[in-house]
Amino acid sequence: MPRFYVEGIRAVSADAVIAAAGVTKATFYRHFPTKDDLVVAYLRTVAAAEQHAVR
C-alpha cells in the first residue's frame, strides 16, 4: 500500500519520496516544484486508475 495511504500525505516528507524513488533532489524538484504539485499528480493518478477500474 502506498505510503500516502498508510501515513497520510502530510506525514510523508519530500525527502522520503525522493529516497524511495531513487532520484536526485534536482530531478524530483524539476518535475514537482512543490509538494502540492506532487500531491496533485498523485491524486490524479489514483483517480484515473479508479475511473478505469469501474469502466
- pTM, whole model, 2 decimals? 0.73
User: In the chain, how many domains are there?
Assistant: 1
Q: From CA 42, how far away is CA 40, in angstroms rounded?
A: 5
Q: Which range marks the domain in which residue 47 is found?
A: 3-54
**Cβ partners under 8 Å of residue 16, min gap 6:** 3
Instruction: Residue 7: give its domain's CATH number.
Output: 1.10.10
For residue 46, the one-letter residue type is V
**What confidence tens digit (pLDDT) does each residue in 4-55 have?**
778 888 898 889 999 999 999 999 999 999 989 998 998 899 899 999 999 8
